[in-house]
Copies of this chain bind each other. A is one copy, B any other.
Amino acid sequence: MFVIVVYDVDVKRVAKVHRFLRTHLHWRQNSVFEGEVSRAQLYEIKRTLESLLEGDDSVLIYEFPRGDFTLHVVGTDKSPAGEVI
């Protein structure tokens, strides 16, 4: 499956959440990650995030059956590798 992950967490925990997500997904822009994962990986991602988040922290995970999307970047492309899928 394909997932898009957007985090909104307190600045105190940004580094930890960001570092963890980078181990599983492709970093698209600031708080946005994406990638293909298995069901087991998705479960692991959710479980680990649950242990990292506190207070009002929140992470959205959009799960799609396939990664058949078109990405439009309006304004500056901040994708770390500068690549556009």
Contacts and interface: CB of A to CB of B under 8 A. Distances in A.
Interface of A: 4, 6, 8-9, 28-32, 42, 46, 49-50, 53, 55-65, 68-78
16 contacts: A4-B4, A4-B62, A6-B32, A8-B30, A8-B31, A28-B60, A31-B31, A50-B75, A53-B74, A53-B75, A58-B77, A58-B78, A59-B73, A59-B74, A60-B72, A63-B71
Contacts of A46: 72, 74
A75 B59 contact: yes
A61 B71 contact: yes
B71 A60 contact: yes
Nearest to A57: B75
